[in-house]
Structure 1
Amino acid sequence: MDHHKAEDLSYKQLEEIIVKGNIDNVFQCIISLKDGSVLGYEALCRGPKGSILEDPKELFHMAKRHGKIMALERMCKRKAMEKFHRKGDGLKLFVNIDPLCFLDSSHGELLDDFFSLENKDSSHVVFEITEHTCIQDYKSFCNILHKYKKLGVDIAIDDVGNGYAGLNLLANVEPLYMKIDMELIRNIHKEPFKQALLKAIVEFADNTNSKLIAEGIENGEELDVLIDLGIHYGQGYYIQKPSSELLNIHPSIKTRVLERNLAKQDIKLTNITNTKIGEISKLVPHICVDTLGKDVDLIFQKGSTVQGLPVIDRDKPVGLVMKDKFYQYLGKQYGYAIFMKRTIERLMDQGPLVVDYDTPLDRVSEIAMMREEEALYDYIIVTKDSKYYGIVTVKDLLQKMTEIELNRAKYANPLTGLPGNIMIEQRIRNVIASKNKYAVLYFDLDNFKPYNDVYGFENGDRIIEMTAAVIGQRMKALDFHRGFLGHIGGDDFVAIVENHQVHRLCEAIIEKFDKRILDFYSEIDRKKGYIMAENRHGAIEKFPLMSLSIAVVTNEHRDFDSVSHLAEYASRIKKKCKACWTSNYMIGNTAE
């Protein structure tokens, strides 16, 4: 069939489609990448199956060529609305509209026809604009769009990042939604450059109160990275393929979104003693020992943010040139003439502060503050395997230490300084998910309330602090120093270790506690072995001296699928422990 005959046949099919409404819509859901809920559906047109115009690109291209784009758009959108309204649950309907429709003199007819089913209620409609067509008159185009926006229509810019959706369109339209082109999404988990680009787009969207929608998500790895980057919404075959019905997503997708967000919120409660200096180091330009003064001058002039240059010889740091000191030398009499043509070796500090990557922040801070006054703010050079790795400024060091301490304070118990409930739940969730060996130890002080009533809250607080210290010291002494210790609140603590063998640890904690607790009673009460206090009914009763119960839960014989599941099991063990009025521990080893 020659070209003209094919064109004639296509045109006849196009006219038939428009007259008979012989077209269908499929819908693809758009979900929140925060909680997996459905935001709405994008309506996608499909021509008659098996026909030349089944492909929507060919269908709309043919309509443009023959001046039928408005008629086709009106018919497609009307049919999409008819099907969408059967859903009736307040979701958004995203519809693609060619910019030509807004610039056509009959654009008002599109609005009238489009909203007639809902008495012109347009709060659920999102016009999705793609700049495939060159927009000649931006002013008129934007004026028409703003009229729609006043009527409640939301605007989305499609294919952001593919070259069509330019800055001019974004700046003039100010869309509520920006849809990221699928080419940017493809294999994003493998391409750091794309990730960096999307980070910038996320920041732009957040600053302009826009919402990003990632298109074309095809696998779980892509979804995970998009969640981590802070993309607001997503759609694609991995989430749900287009369907003739408005379907809900599979529960597994929602679960994945929720779990990934929980992991994303993973709070890094570090401290300045276990944070390595190398983790905050950064690369800056460096020079070799035979670099001339004039070349150093050029580097400093070109790089306004460069305040120092490490001097490296065969991958090892041998000196440091700080910008202020360099120009002090040049400012001396004949300094410029003397040093510009000589190597930097004469000017460099040959004994800069050099620390290994693994050195803790607090140790680096101590050393840095011991330097002479004139070197106090010089770069700290970091090495790894004895080779130059990067530098840390004093400003970066102090900022990181402040950040860590503020973060600890935010999530820590104010009395003991130990991680609180949020961190405890997170750690338990992490060990459950890891499938490694673990034991969770729940500590509870017995007869603590009667003691508080008799001896006062101040002494009660001292006991809580003592208990925290005893548990932490015993964990460290028995090589459980990599374990986790948290303070639930009041007289309850939790420790987590990646080991099932905790008998010695429990025994050592109880032994130390039982000795230390006697110091908090009067000699009379120690000899009696009890105190007199009111019970919960207001009657005076004997209460034994305080003891410590330890309920231990491990995954040696059973697995737990959630924090609440593990906590419920632990509470049953703790109840058995507290039935004994002396310090004791119990390990839940059976698959009860």
Structure 2
Amino acid sequence: MRQSEQPALRPTRNPNGPTSHLDELHALVDERALEFAFQPIADVSHASVYGYEALMRGPAGSRLRSPDEILRAARAAGRLAELERIACLTAIDAFARQRLKGKLFLNLSAPLIEHFARDNGAELVGRAEAAGIAPVRLVLELTEHERVEDVDGLHAAMTTLCAAGITLALDDFGDGRSSLRLWVQLRPQIVKLDKFFVQGLDSDIRKVEVIRGVLRLAEVLGTPLVAEGIEDPVQLAVLRDLGCHYAQGYCLGRPAQFPEPGLLPAALAVLRSDKVSVLPASSPQPRFDHSVDRLRVAAPSVVPQTASSELMRLFIANPDLHAIGVVDRDRPVGLVNRRDFIEAYAQPYHRELYGKRPVAEFMNADPLCAERSAPLQSLVNVLAGEDQRYLQDGFIVTDEGRYAGVATGESLVRAVTELRIEAARHANPLTLLPGNIPVTEHIGRLLDARVPFAACYFDLNNFKPYNDLYGYWRGDEMIKLAAKLVLAHSDRKHDFVGHVGGDDFVVLFQSEDWAARCRAIVHEFNRDAHALFDTRELESGGFNSEDRRGFAAFFPLTTIAVGQVHVVSGQFRDAEDVASAAAEAKKIAKRSRTGIHLAPTAQVIPRLHVVRS
């Protein structure tokens, strides 16, 4: 419940009986007819129930069944604060009657927390002790729709209640109202992370990094974190591996008036599992030198009225300068390309005829201008555009619209190419599967967790001659077929699929039936790849193309090979060792008749369950 009002006199009730939402509200409050559902909060490291959050409900069949409707009616009736107080005390009684274990989380606004502190917590503590609940089991969740105006007053109130053993939790951190400032000033014992950051967590690396950052902050401030809104076991596995302390959501248990004493089986399976979760692929981290400014060359400028002969002297004095900007009141109005200008100037009689003419007659009056702070990626479209003049002339670099220098088209091509190569190391541009860097990161996580896994290296046989014969379009289709089948036979919860080269794939299997999955991939690819050959090649059982030395040769139909290394604790030093061993296994597979080399399963070393971060 959330409110910012103090208890008020209630309006006169309709004498003809409860016929409106307001009448039902008055009856609900006066008769203490509220009901409660309790949703479990899990202790992640112990795979157990840490406590329950009390969620207010109206009577079944009532128009005020929904908590939102109750709050709306209470606000209209001026009884919001009174409702909140009664709900808090009634929830304690309902929780005690069920003899539920663990903490009881109660949603309270700042004014009501201050209200309970006025008698040093006597009313709240007395109600809990009368119900047989120790005050240390109470957790007050600060929930606010409005800003907390008197943070110092709230902090003083919480200090009073904490002295009685009551815990303060900050709810919905990150939603814009529960701010970092409140976290630091109020010093809560628990912080609940808004469900926005959990939804889609398993497919959004940005949310993973946000939660990592919040967990680091929680460690610094000494505050355990509750992740709310977990609806999928995959999300729970990611949060477990990130080191989240507590978790809440439908995946662990739905709100119920009579909740089960433990967590749901699917959640328990995740929390007790040794398997490492598969995080979304990382993306290249933006760097400060990835802006247009890294291409900028400091260069002199001229005004439109400058004589051509003076411009020629500037080019001679600056032999490395490819172009000079033309400016009017520091604003660029044109660009003169060195090569074009000098070639024209060298023509017979040009100096005599045009030496005194203004440079405005020779400039490109529509130059490309780019802000020095703009990301390089913003200029990618220039390379693909129809007007390639910019690649020859270069472009002008500005600083808040003012002339700051020039840049060459060659430097732009080189910088964008570097960015694309770096991006491909994170995600393959054809299949969008994780590249070398995410694969290396995941191997590191598996090694750190000391869990057994199978590193499988897939490679296409005779792919280059196939690509030379049929062209890149059909070659891409062959690669996409391989990607589709590898993904289809991998478990996204446990198996990490990476695309580390043109036709090379790495799968880090935690699925116990990895060998059967590998055989299925090889069988289905070798069958389905026939659809990418012409009839003549299929009838011949192969095709003619050039080998790596450029000589004509006959090649069997393209197939896929897989080499595997089974990794157990302590077997390899780092990710590079695992990758090298898998590559060697792949070479053996490519030479084998079946195209499969599966190493025997190594003995698994028993280990204790560890919390991964």
TM-score, reference length from structure 1: 0.50
TM-score, reference length from structure 2: 0.48
